[in-house]
């Protein structure tokens, strides 16, 4: 069975960076398969990179290698790392990009994972990597070798999971009357994805406060009339704000980073 690599970056599609990385992988093992996750992460935006990798991670086969390159510190002394979890591998810079994946693992990824700093140049594209494109010169070839069966321990020196850089991702918290959270991301349709998980919103009637708006919590987009602002449990498993047939981000003027409050109607 050929190995599977997913690939997420902020390289965009207007240059050949993504294609070149696939060429490097094909040179190492032409049988490997690469699935693009997303390459339109805003340039150098680690929070959005981490968010998207975290949402995609659970939907791939066990053993998949996840290559992720959003790397504002390329060429500095930030570490390059590979991580083995119970369900897959992560390869990229040690700058917090893997926070959302690690957060969803047992014990928040502090146990049952192994991590190495990438120091074994024999698995690199070149022993003298470019100072500005470690995606091509280090991370892609390491991912290709991992997907081809090279053991994690061969890639470099083991490091403690506790030492991995983690992003200060905002978390939700409960209040006497409900939950306060944050918009994590918006999608192409303008849906606003919060960080309030579905299990916080069971068994009662809820009202959603966002900006100046108060919205009901419904089952799906079409439960409201066209144009209605609503909340629903989205496909990621979090509270999502939407406009039926419209663009909530534009209509509500709300964006990632803004707060969202959910209030129980039957306290």
Q: Indicate whether 235 belongs to the interface with its own copies (CB under 8 A).
A: yes
CA distance 180 to 19: 42
Count of CA atoms in the C-beta half-sphere (13 A) of 246: 17
Contacting its own copies (CB under 8 A), which of 234, 239, 254, 262? 234
Burial class of 19 by CB neighbour count within 10 A (0 to 12, 13 to 18, 19+): exposed
| Minimum distance from residue 185 beta carbon to its own copies (Å) | 8
**Helix 17-28 and helix 140-147, axial crossing angle in degrees, nearest 10:** 40
148 touches its own copies by CB under 8 A: no
The whole-angstrom distance between residue 181's C-alpha and the CA centroid of its chain comes to: 18
Pick 98 or 133: Cβ nearer its own copies: 133
Ranges within 237-266 binding its own copies (CB under 8 A): 240, 242, 245, 247
Q: Identify which of residues 178 and 234 has a Cβ nearer to its own copies in the complex.
A: 234
Nearer to its own copies, 137 or 161 (CB): 137
Q: Order across the sheet with 88-93: list the strands.
A: 33-38, 4-9, 64-69, 88-93, 80-84, 114-118, 156-159
Q: Does 126 bind its own copies (CB under 8 A)?
A: no
For its own copies, how many residues bind (rule: CB under 8 A)? 66
Residue 118, beta-bridge partner list: 156
Residue 211 C-beta: closest distance to its own copies, Å:
22
By CB under 8 A, residue 37 contacts its own copies = yes
The answer to whether 8 touches 39, Cβ cutoff 8 Å, is yes
Q: Does 81 bind its own copies (CB under 8 A)?
A: no
Task: Sort residue 78 into left (φ over 0), alpha (ψ -120 to 50) or beta.
Answer: beta
Of the pair 27, 205, the CB lying nearest its own copies is at: 27
Is there a contact between 157 and 119 (Cβ–Cβ < 8 Å)? Answer: yes
- The CB-of-243 to its own copies minimum distance in angstroms stands at 11
CB closer to its own copies out of 112 and 132: 132
Verify binding: residue 169, its own copies, rule CB under 8 A. Answer: no
Q: How many Å apart are CA 69 and CA 106, to the nearest integer?
A: 24
Q: Is 17 in the site for its own copies (CB under 8 A)?
A: yes
Helix, strand, coil % over all residues of the chain, rounded to 5: 25, 30, 40
What is the binding site for its own copies (CB under 8 A)?
Answer: 1-2, 4, 6, 8, 10-20, 22-24, 26-27, 30, 33, 35-40, 43-44, 52-53, 55-56, 59-61, 64, 72-76, 130-133, 136-137, 187-189, 219-223, 232-235, 240, 242, 245, 247
């Amino acid at each position: 069975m050929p190995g599977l690599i997913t690939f997420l970056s902020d390289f965009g599609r207007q240059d050949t960076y993504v294609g070149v990385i696939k060429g490097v992988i094909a040179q190492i093992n032409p049988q490997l398969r690469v699935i693009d996750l997303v390459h339109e992460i805003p340039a150098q935006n680690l929070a959005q990179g981490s968010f998207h990798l975290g949402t995609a991670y659970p939907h791939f086969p066990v053993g998949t290698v996840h290559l992720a390159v959003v790397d504002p510190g390329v060429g500095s002394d930030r570490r390059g790392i590979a991580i083995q979890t119970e369900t897959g591998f992560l390869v990229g810079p040690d700058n917090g990009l893997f926070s959302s994946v690690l957060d969803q693992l047992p014990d928040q990824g502090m146990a049952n994972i192994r991590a190495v700093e990438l120091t074994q140049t024999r698995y690199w594209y070149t022993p003298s990597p470019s100072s500005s494109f470690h995606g091509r010169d280090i991370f892609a070839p390491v991912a290709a070798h991992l997907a081809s069966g090279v053991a994690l321990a061969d890639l470099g020196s083991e490091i403690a999971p506790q030492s991995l850089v983690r992003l200060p991702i905002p978390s939700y918290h409960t209040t006497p009357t409900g939950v306060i959270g944050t918009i994590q991301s918006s999608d192409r349709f303008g849906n606003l994805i919060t960080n309030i998980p579905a299990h916080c919103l069971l068994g009662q009637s809820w009202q959603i406060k966002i900006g100046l708006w108060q919205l009901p919590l419904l089952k799906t987009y079409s439960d409201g009339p066209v144009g209605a602002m609503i909340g629903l449990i989205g496909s990621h498993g979090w509270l999502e704000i939407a406009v039926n047939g419209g663009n909530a981000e534009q209509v509500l003027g709300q964006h990632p980073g803004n707060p969202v409050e959910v209030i129980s109607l039957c306290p």
